[in-house]
Amino acid sequence: MSDDLPTPDYIDTARSYRSSKQITFGGYHKAKRPPEDTELTHVGPGTPCGEFFRRYWIPVAMTEQVTDVPHRVRILGEDLVLFKDKAGRYGLLHLHCSHRNASLEFGVIENKGLRCCYHGWLYDVDGTILEMPAQSAQSRKKLCHGAYPVEEYLGLLFAYMGPPELKPDFPKWDTTQLDGVEMVPYFINYPCNWLQICENTMDPWHTVFLHARVTDIHFGDTWGIAPVTEFYERNHKIYATLTYRIDDMIWVRTQETISPSFSQVGAWWETGREEKYFKRASITKWTIPHDDENCMIIAWRSFGPNIDPEGHGKREEVGVNTVDFPGQTGAEPYEYRQRHPNDYEAQVSQGAINSHAAENLGSTDKGVAYLRRKLRRGIRAVQSGNPLPESERAGEEFLTHVQDTVLPIPPHPADDEQFLKDVTDAVMDVVFQGDSLGGSKRSDFIVEELKKIKYDPRFFHKNHNA
């Protein structure tokens, strides 16, 4: 009988959320949170977003985690084992042995490959089963175990987990090849969905409140100044700029997000008070899903005279589940974290998988909306069999655009906000113009052109005292 009843409205939680927005004491209508956006958040094998990730080289572990015993990992909802055989080759295999499913994390590393502890089957790094000891000739089958290619680069191990015939070349990101910069690897685990961690870089306004105004000043006091924020999209990459007016200086900070979940940000010790040009990333990172409800940031922190001449970074604090700036792990006591919330608390507390239908995005959330749209486009392109845009695939030098520039330009007497926007456009124009050059020629060109901006008649106004 009840089968004939129509579905009551209150069971449609998303609709209930929408219709109850202005009801005071209306918790009843919001008691059930609307479900997550599965297209953007679910990453297991065969899901649209999981397939999207599987078109790129992604980091899966730090090199130092792979020792003389196999290293178990969970990536994109798959349990895997990572190892380095005695010949120095890296392998990434499905965790469960092809014979009777014992876990290869208990296997033995050999000169060539990894041997299962249970009945001794021996696996090569490409999944070839080299030995099936004691099996009769009849029962010895030609089998391949699940395997993925691995590349080691600057202390991180990258895997390509997509269809073999679509494997792109391995990219060499420009910021990883700069003179005077050393890339130090680290990772941090998060007990929540990957997207809410990845979105943080495209949420420039959180820095004003979370990092300066609400409880503590985490970095510099100038982070609490309301910036002018702009967004740029170019060659399928998206950029958020934060432009601060600090007395007679203009600080233009550019952060970027590149598919599938790669992003870079400038120095956390930057204050915007001293003239500088085209300073590059202090963090080069990926947000990689372990599964739908767990992920990690796996990354490099940049050290060296080119990025950190005054030595703000603490190399000894960068590594396995640790990094050298506050609030990135849940390691502090709960009450301390309540009184001093930081990135970890804000992002993980959105829930195991954030419910977008329960959010109310506003003008400060343009970057988050941009990122979700871009992801959806990429996910759907993969689903419909379209190739990924060439600019997102590998080249000899994969150009990125993260930067900090601080220009000595005093406030505009009439409309400084518009003035800051115009200066930001001028900075980004120069940064993009450099794309026709490579290596140090590119950065020399960009720095020289950025230095000219303060003399540009558009910005050299009557208050100028340079």
Q: Cβ of residue 151: shortest distance to ligand FES, in angstroms?
A: 27
**Measured from the CB atom, is 99 or 464 closer to ligand FES?**
99
Interaction with ligand FES in 295-324: which residues (CB under 6 A)? none
Q: Cβ of residue 290: shortest distance to ligand FES, in angstroms?
A: 24
Report d(CA 425, CA 445) in Å as an integer.
17
With CB under 6 A as the contact rule, the residue among 14, 102, 437, 447 that binds ligand FES is 102
Say which residues have a Cβ less than 8 Å from residue 6's Cβ, sequence separation at least 6: none
**Measured from the CB atom, is 121 or 205 closer to Fe ion?**
205
**Measured from the CB atom, is 102 or 348 closer to ligand FES?**
102
With CB under 6 A as the contact rule, the residue among 60, 62, 92, 97 that binds ligand FES is 97
Q: Cβ of residue 143: shortest distance to ligand FES, in angstroms?
A: 12
- Long-range residue pairs from 128-132, CB within 8 A, at least 24 positions apart, any chain: 129/98, 132/99
Q: Are 166 and 195 in contact (CB under 8 A)?
A: no
Report d(CA 450, CA 432) in Å as an integer.
12
Stretch that binds ligand FES, among 99-107, 142-150, 229-237, 310-318 (CB under 6 A): 99-107
Residue 219 burial (CB count, 10 A): 18
Stretch that binds ligand FES, among 77-85, 116-124, 328-336, 374-382 (CB under 6 A): 116-124
Q: Are 220 and 268 in contact (CB under 8 A)?
A: no
Q: Are 415 and 452 in contact (CB under 8 A)?
A: no
Residue 86 burial (CB count, 10 A): 11
With CB under 6 A as the contact rule, the residue among 58, 95, 116, 161 that binds ligand FES is 116
**Measured from the CB atom, is 97 or 197 closer to ligand FES?**
97
Q: Cβ of residue 291: shortest distance to ligand FES, in angstroms?
A: 24
Q: Cβ of residue 100: shortest distance to ligand FES, in angstroms?
A: 4
Distance of CA 353 to the CA centre of its chain: 17
Report d(CA 277, CA 291) in Å as an integer.
40
Say which residues have a Cβ less than 8 Å from residue 36's Cβ, sequence separation at least 6: 42, 193, 353, 354, 355, 356
Stretch that binds ligand FES, among 15-23, 69-77, 112-120, 201-209 (CB under 6 A): 112-120
**Measured from the CB atom, is 123 or 300 closer to ligand FES?**
123
3-state secondary structure 225-239: CCCEEEEEEECCEEE
With CB under 5 A as the contact rule, the residue among 343, 392, 404, 449 that binds Fe ion is 343
Total number of residues that touch Fe ion (CB under 5 A) = 1
Helix, strand, coil abundance in the chain, percent, nearest 5: 30, 25, 45
Q: Are 187 and 299 in contact (CB under 8 A)?
A: yes
Bond from prior residue into 35 cis (ω within 30 degrees of 0): no
**How many CA atoms are closer than 13 Å to the CA of 6, on its beta-carbon side?**
4
**Measured from the CB atom, is 98 or 222 closer to ligand FES?**
98
Q: Are 115 and 121 in contact (CB under 8 A)?
A: yes
Instruction: List the single partner that 35 binds among ligand FES, Fe ion, none, CB under 5 to 8 Å by kind.
Output: none
Report d(CA 298, CA 258) in Å as an integer.
15
Instruction: List the single partner that 343 binds among ligand FES, Fe ion, none, CB under 5 to 8 Å by kind.
Output: Fe ion
Instruction: List the single partner that 121 binds among Fe ion, ligand FES, none, CB under 5 to 8 Å by kind.
Output: ligand FES
Residue 114 binds to ligand FES (criterion: CB under 6 A) = no
Instruction: List the single partner that 102 binds among ligand FES, Fe ion, none, CB under 5 to 8 Å by kind.
Output: ligand FES
Instruction: List the single partner that 129 binds among Fe ion, ligand FES, none, CB under 5 to 8 Å by kind.
Output: none
**Measured from the CB atom, is 109 or 210 closer to ligand FES?**
109
Q: Are 397 and 177 in contact (CB under 8 A)?
A: yes
At 342 the three-state DSSP class reads coil
Total number of residues that touch ligand FES (CB under 6 A) = 9
CA end-to-end distance (rounded Å), the chain:
83
Q: Per-residue contact track with ligand FES, 118 to 157, x per CB under 6 A?
A: xxxx------------------------------------
Report which residue's Cβ sits closest to Fe ion.
343
With CB under 6 A as the contact rule, the residue among 15, 18, 86, 100 that binds ligand FES is 100
Q: Cβ of residue 278: shortest distance to ligand FES, in angstroms?
A: 54
Site residues for ligand FES per CB under 6 A: 97, 99-100, 102, 116, 118-121
Site residues for Fe ion per CB under 5 A: 343
